[in-house]
Amino acid sequence: MRIIDKDSYGTLAVVFIIAAIFIYVIWKFVPVAWVKWPLIVFAWVFCIWQLFFFRVPSRTPAGSDTIVTSAADGKVVIIDEFFEDEYLKRNCKRICVYMNFFDVHANFWPVTGEVTYYKYHPGKHLLAFKPKASEENEHTSVCIRTQSGQEVFFRQLAGTFARRIVNYAAPGLQVKSGEQCGIIKFGSRLDIFLPLDADVKVALGDLTKACETVIAQIR
């Protein structure tokens, strides 16, 4: 069953109100049928797209405390070794998934464990696929410690059009892989930082589905 993200009701209400006003104005003041009807259809299609965009899809979780799944739908745009200097303070394997306008933007816990760190960072709104966006854009940072003591760190990263990131993390919270952890509204990226000995299961250009695509295995 598909539902709408609980933190997006207000956004959708604004979209539908604006669309209703737009349709009324077009219906009232545009007499030319071949102009009026395409505009009305466009407004309805836009509303339907927004419902699709903010949905929380029903998925079958494939993750655990050792199997790391993608936290977002999208495309793998970066796989590299990267020094995480905010919390882990060490080199990690970094996997970045870019979400376009047609991907689901609800995000999900990538691994089962305990939240040990959470911080929201205000910032810029550079294009999300640019390297500097990871540090300079508005983002949240979360670290999860698994039962074996491994740490998985991830960032929800706002893009050019995103202006609000929602995350349910709090230190001490017990989380389960595949459950929703939040949402990023409009174009964005999600970066996951893994131990260097993690066995990465995806390649550049792969398309991922949150909860179902295994991106790595850790000890």
Instruction: Report, as residue numbers or ranges, the catalytic residues.
Output: 188
Q: How many CB atoms lie within 10 A of CB 102?
A: 9
d(CA 130, CA 69): 23
| CA-wise closest residue to 87 among 217, 193, 12 | 193
- Long-range contact pairs involving 204-207 (C-beta distance under 8 Å, separation at least 24): 204/76, 204/77, 204/78, 204/79, 205/75, 205/76, 206/75, 206/76, 207/74, 207/75, 207/76
Alpha helices in 121-190 (DSSP H): 133-136
Q: What is the DSSP letter of 149?
A: S
Sheet strands side by side (includes 199-200): 67-69, 214-217, 199-200
Task: Output the CA torsion 37→42→43→46 (10° steps).
Answer: 160
Tokens, residue 49: 């797209």
| CA-wise closest residue to 208 among 109, 112, 101, 96 | 96
Task: Output the CA torsion 166→3→102→67 (10° steps).
Answer: 70
